[in-house]
Amino acid sequence: DTVEDPIDEQEVFDLVRSISDPEHPLTLEQLNVLQFDHVEVDNDNNKVLIEFTPTIPHCSMATLIGLCIRVRLLRSLPDRFKVDIRVRKGTHQSEHAVNKQLNDKERVAAALENTHLLEVVNQCLSTAGLRG
Amino acid sequence: MVRLELIETLEGHRDRVWQASWHPSKAILATCSGDKTVRLWAPSTQTNFTKWHCVETLEGAHKRTIRSVAWSPTGNELATASFDATTGIWENDPRDNDWECVATLEGHENEIKSVSWSSTGALLATCSRDKSVWIWEVEADNDFECLSVLQEHTQDVKMVAWHPQLELLASASYDDTIKIWKEDEDDWYCADTLEGHESTVWAIDFNKKGDQIVSVSDDQTIRIWKMYKPNNSQGIPTHNGEATWRTICTLSGYHSRCIYSVSWSKVNGCIATVGGDNTIHIFEEDKEASKDEDSPIYKNIATITDAHGDYDINCVSWFPTESHGDLLSTVGDDNLVRIWKFVRDE
């Protein structure tokens, strides 16, 4: 008897667009790392897919950026959602390795127990509530 | 018809539950969690299984997530593997039935993912994100000596499992392979590498006899591997006098997300799998449809969707012996532990 609000692409995009880049004083939307068209939500099947585009093909921050997006959604979306985060095809030289790491929940859990890393993630997420 | 009846749902862990391990003979379940504790659960009496409760909480020894917990073959010791890069050895004091951490094994460079005792209890294996597998010898007075550091996996090692009778170890890795480890005059070496999965191999289990292994992966498939010894009658080639393992069955199209755990019942022969799609599947060999033992056909005989609601299921395990062979446990990201009864209606 709990009726959950359906969640759409706009709502998910609004949750992540204002995350700060780890290196630049700009949001992931301003850097075109995140784009509305690259968010897919299947509310009925509890699935979210976000593809992001690193600014350069050898961006060393790609995994950290993906982790920030994941943590933001972990904290904001209802638990029922299964989230996949991927580098947009053809935009990073280590695409497969980055994708595998970001979607290994055990490694994500271990990363979030690292105090230093968590601080960096929280710093990037401190602007996330601004929504555009 | 077969079905799984939910007997009990146990609350107590304050974070995701990663793994569960049955006592080798008694109806006691050990579970470990991101809350850095191990909990032991038992029925009110060893004959009435309708109500279970937490009988012990083991805490204070690990600074981070406890990823894996394993009983020694006697049930008097427990080993815990933690993201804090240590393995804890706990001993039961029968006088006050209290558990105490009596040894801490150090050496791995980072998170330990799994721990397992050999069938005799003489050896312990651990594996880590540091890509290595360590073999420890269990000595008197809670002393553990590292016999070997095995470094042939190229990535994070997710699980180690000993053969049910022999001193033969299997390990599963983020490098998509399974490796088989053997000893030759105190020297441990990789006797075979099992290739076929297309992504991380999360879990493995031997069958009762120990001549087959079932594995599950992020590639959403289940594979059954069979051991072929040198000069086998099927004509499967082997190298250097070592047995070779071949896939004899692949099950796909059942799980729609990563498969995290598998348990091959030593009592009824059924294979249980769980994963990120919140589902439990039970498989059984279809003896009538199977043409021969080198190409068995397995059928899905029971499915429970949303067995932990909307949450990932991280571990499934059958009770290891006849005494309670119909019991199955699952644990999930919902912090819950569930006990199920496998029922077959004739």
- Are the Cβ atoms of B311 and A109 closer than 8 angstroms? no
For residue A46, how many C-alpha atoms fall within 13 Å in the half-sphere facing its CB? 17
Interface test mutation site (partner A, options B15, B83, B279, max chain A beta carbons within 10 A): B83
Q: Do B310 and A113 touch (CB under 8 A)?
A: no
Residues 5-64 of B with CB under 8 A from A: 16, 34, 64
d(CA B306, CA B74): 35
B23-38 pLDDT, tens digit each:
999 999 999 999 999 9
CB contact under 8 A, A100 and B34: no
Per CB-CB distance under 8 Å, the chain B contacts of A113 are 64-65, 83
Over residues B147-175, mean pLDDT: 98
Q: Are B81 and B29 in contact (CB under 8 A)?
A: no
**pLDDT above 90 for A131:** no
Percent of chain B with pLDDT over 70: 100
What is the rounded distance in angstroms from the CA atom of residue B110 to the CA atom of residue B237? 38
* Mean pLDDT along residues B270-284: 98
Q: Which residues pair with B71 in a beta bridge?
A: B78
**Gap from A132 CA to chain B (nearest CA, Å):** 31
Contact of B153 with B171, CB cutoff 8 Å:
yes
Residue of chain B whose Cα is closest to the Cα of A113: B64
CA dihedral B153, B157, B158, B159 (to 10 degrees): 80
Q: Do A79 and B199 touch (CB under 8 A)?
A: no
Q: Strand B38-43 vs strand B29-33: parallel, antiparallel, or unpaired?
A: antiparallel
Q: Output the pTM of the full model.
A: 0.97
Give residues 317 to 346 of B whose Cβ lies within 8 Å of A.
333
Find the closest chain A residue to B36 by CA distance.
A113
Ramachandran area for residue B196 (φ above 0: left; ψ -120 to 50: alpha; else beta): left
pLDDT of residue B47: 82
In angstroms, the CA A61 to CA A72 distance is: 17
Query: Tokens 């990663």 correspond to what residue?
Result: B18
Tell me: pLDDT of B209 over 90.
yes
CB contact under 8 A, B174 and A110: no
pLDDT of residue B198: 98
> Over 60: is that where the pLDDT of A106 sits?
yes
- Residue B282: pLDDT over 80: yes
pLDDT attached to residue A2? 60
Residues of B with CB below 8 A from A79's CB? 310-311, 333
Which ipTM did the prediction report? 0.95
Is the pLDDT score of A52 beyond 60?
A: yes
pLDDT for B120 equals 97
pLDDT score recorded for residue B48: 86
Task: Give the best residue of B18, B111, B175, B256 to mutate against chain A (max A CB count within 10 A).
Answer: B111
